[in-house]
Amino acid sequence: MHSTKKFYILLMVLCSICSLQASGVTVLATTDIHGHITGTDRGLLKLATLIVAEKEKAGPENTLLIDCGDTLEGTYSAYATQGEIMIKALNFLHYDAWIPGNHEFDLNLKTLAQRIRQFQGAVLAGNINCRTLQSAAITSSWKIFKRGGLKVAVIGLTMPGISWQRWRPPGVLQTLKMSYSLHRIMPEVRAKEPDIIILAQHLGIYAKGYNAYSLLADFPEINLVLGGHTHVEKSGQKIGPDNWYVQAGKHAECVAKIEITFDKKRQKAARITSSLLKVKESTSEYKKLRSLINEDLINANEHGRFLLSELKLSRSVGRHKVIEETAVAAMKWKCRVMGKKAGAVFYSNCRKGGVLKQIIPLTRKTIFDWYRFHDKVCLVDFGSRETFRAVLNEFKSSKSARFTPLILLNNSKNNFTVVLSSYLLAGAGGRLPLLHSYGIKHPEKVIQTSGIQETVSLYLQEKQLLPENQKRRN
């Protein structure tokens, strides 16, 4: 009995010594939620249940909650609220940091600035050069958080190729290379002598011109990299001698849980473990979050059911062909409204998407499902036959998963004005460098009009055979 008592006393002493020598931080991370609020095995309503449970288990004072971007866009409820429903959810769950992804910049920049102001945590975007955001002083490159008795530095970087996805006039938005940005940021971070450094990025381990292994060779003191953008799940892997990588998949299907043990005596992270906690069909929705956003969900559903027109098909037609031809007709109509006549059409070589065999009610949500991106309709004057042919040849030889027509205006034989989407003019994610270069060098040759979704909706309301009593006001 006496020896047993001695053993427990010794054990308590050892535990006390260990607690003095080590402390820890729990990091919870999500990415690429893309507006997914509901779902049987996904969605933020169910994921919130897991997040709240883990924060309570570790203690809010020991927990960091971070989202790595592509959060505001992707579902109709997010689209109908212009991302505001997602900001409400992030704030409710007390996210500490949010790194904007490339699809955040699908929004109008003024709208994005509003959403950033509404977010109650830190918005970290260290490689974004944007006048609209910087003039409002609403983003920063990094921030120190105190958790678990430690100083934790979180650096936020987004995908460098954002300017290749939607055309904007030169100087409005620029994304800088990851390595360049870190070389600028890290001296500031080091000066604060953090115990732990986390790089939260909207990018995977590999990308064009980027390799996380090479990056961390230059910055070995970064303990943890949280990834995104590529929609893959990485429960945890080493990407350097003392560097750990985790990525939480997509669509609020899981949350990454990372536990970092810090050795106070050696003044370094002693151990990092991680796992992905997945939403299941049996996972219950978090009722308080449902109560907060339920009215928004109901309103978005009603908004999406608004009937624009009906499409009657006399035979089975490829879905993507219908999508293309509807948008081409709408873009031609837009030209006529502007007093210009549209002529020849050049299609991309993308024909995916199944077959349509029925009468299709064309609601707002149908149009959103067909054209999910916020591309604008652009008119571009190429000036000469040589430039036009070079761009056309580049376009015809490229492949793109996004609906991408070119429409040539035929006002005269020497006319080389083309109607196309802002996505193409931005270079289609790097696939069309000639178009990208022309749009940057000659902004005076570009007229950017309404969005493709808006153009198609207005065209259907104006031109399709919808009974007059069903043409309700927006």
Residue 353 is predicted with a pLDDT of: 58
Residue 5 is predicted with a pLDDT of: 60
In sequence order, what are the beta bridge partners of 345? 407
More confident residue, 461 or 204: 204
Contact 408, 146 (CB under 8 A): no
Whole-angstrom Cα distance, residue 237 to residue 246? 7
Does residue 107 share a domain with residue 212? Answer: yes
In sequence order, what are the beta bridge partners of 108? none
More confident residue, 308 or 201: 201
Contact 97, 121 (CB under 8 A): yes
Does residue 357 share a domain with residue 258? Answer: no
Q: Is the pLDDT of residue 260 over 50?
A: yes
Q: Is residue 12 part of a domain?
A: no
Q: Is residue 8 part of a domain?
A: no
| Residue 66 burial (C-beta neighbours within 10 Å; 0-12, 13-18, 19+) | buried
Q: Is residue 417 part of a domain?
A: yes
Span 101-128, mean pLDDT? Answer: 93
Does residue 340 share a domain with residue 198? Answer: no
**The last residue of a domain, from among 285, 300, 315:** 300
pLDDT 10s digits, 426-450: 998 888 999 999 999 999 999 999 9
Q: Is the pLDDT of residue 177 over 60?
A: yes
Does residue 205 share a domain with residue 335? Answer: no
Strand duo 150-157 + 128-130: pairing = unpaired
Does residue 446 share a domain with residue 390? Answer: yes
Does residue 272 share a domain with residue 144? Answer: yes
Span 279-298, mean pLDDT? Answer: 97
Contact 207, 214 (CB under 8 A): no
pLDDT 10s digits, 230-246: 999 999 999 999 999 99
Span 87-105, mean pLDDT? Answer: 97
Half-sphere exposure of 197 (CA within 13 A, CB side): 23
pLDDT 10s digits, 27-49: 999 999 999 999 999 999 999 99
**The last residue of a domain, from among 284, 300, 316:** 300
Does residue 435 share a domain with residue 342? Answer: yes
Does residue 178 share a domain with residue 156? Answer: yes
Residue 341 is predicted with a pLDDT of: 85
Provide the pLDDT confidence category of residue 456 given band limits of 50, 70 and 90: very high
Domain coverage including residue 187: 21-300
State the DSSP code for 427: T
Mean pLDDT of the residues in the chain: 88
Q: For the chain, how many structural domains are there in total?
A: 2
Token pair of 325 as six digits: 């031809």
**The last residue of a domain, from among 246, 269, 300:** 300
Token pair of 65 as six digits: 């909650």
Q: Is residue 4 part of a domain?
A: no
Does residue 220 share a domain with residue 91? Answer: yes
pLDDT 10s digits, 134-168: 666 678 999 999 999 999 999 999 999 888 888 88
Residue 374 is predicted with a pLDDT of: 86
Span 70-76, mean pLDDT? Answer: 96
Q: How many CB atoms lie within 10 A of CB 440?
A: 18
- What's the predicted TM-score (pTM) here? 0.90
Q: Please report which helix (H) or strand (E) contains residue 378, including its range.
A: strand 376-381
Residue 198 is predicted with a pLDDT of: 98
Residue 474 is predicted with a pLDDT of: 40
How remote is the C-alpha of 428 from its chain's centroid?
16
Q: Is residue 3 part of a domain?
A: no
Hey, what amino acid is at 384? S
Contact 227, 198 (CB under 8 A): no
Provide the pLDDT confidence category of residue 471 given band limits of 50, 70 and 90: very low
Contact 367, 453 (CB under 8 A): yes
Residue 8 is predicted with a pLDDT of: 54
